[in-house]
Structure 1
Amino acid sequence: MTTPIFQNYTVLESPKKVACHPMPYLYAVYFCHFDAIGTKTFKLQLAGDITGDKVDAIVVCHMDTSGWSSDHAVFRMFGMKHGDALCLVFFEGNLVWIDQPSTIAVSVA
């Protein structure tokens, strides 16, 4: 793979539903994101701005953070406003369900 670890990516296709991520417990516990609770999950194809290499990524977006504490650390970390949407890229080791057969290869540092 020729893709640098850090580069900007551009969305190349419409999103498809997906995703759950592991929680830090002594046994397997996953936290799942569902549209019903204000989140949307997507499989997106991204293209690197340096090399043009394409990668598939799993992204979970919290579409409305207005129900979160206005003092939540994420607002300070990312310079966001209370209520803004927040999207997170899922990395290797996360559990993902896809509604149709597909191959996903994601590499995130």
Structure 2
Amino acid sequence: MECEHARTSLAAQVLGILEGSEHDSLGTHLDQCPSCRSEREELLGLLPLLDTVMPYELDGVPTPDPARAVELARGAEADRDDAHGPSSRSPQPQGQCRSVPPGGYPGSSHTISG
């Protein structure tokens, strides 16, 4: 495998989607080519950054629909109630949230400031 071809396969290999003989050929090439190994290391450094990108931040990807999310959550709650009986929680007035203790819930890294 030549470097040009190896470099086109590096991203797929780093993302874990390169398989079969292509995966094996790239591995053999990387064992022998410090330049491509270095490029692979650079790509591996980008993986943590990909985890910070939210899908709705990408061009062409529609933003989440809050109304649809609420509809799905209510459907899931109704399904759960059907399977396990009504929830022991008190119903909340529509459009209002339950109160959250100051500083958030114990053990949670999320806090609410106001």
- Output the TM-score relative to the length of structure 1: 0.24
> Relative contact order, CA 8 A, sep 6+: which one is greater?
1
**If each structure's helix is expressed as a fraction of its own residues, which one has the higher value?**
2
- Output the TM-score relative to the length of structure 2: 0.23
Q: Larger radius of gyration, structure 1 or 2?
A: 2
**If each structure's strand is expressed as a fraction of its own residues, which one has the higher value?**
1
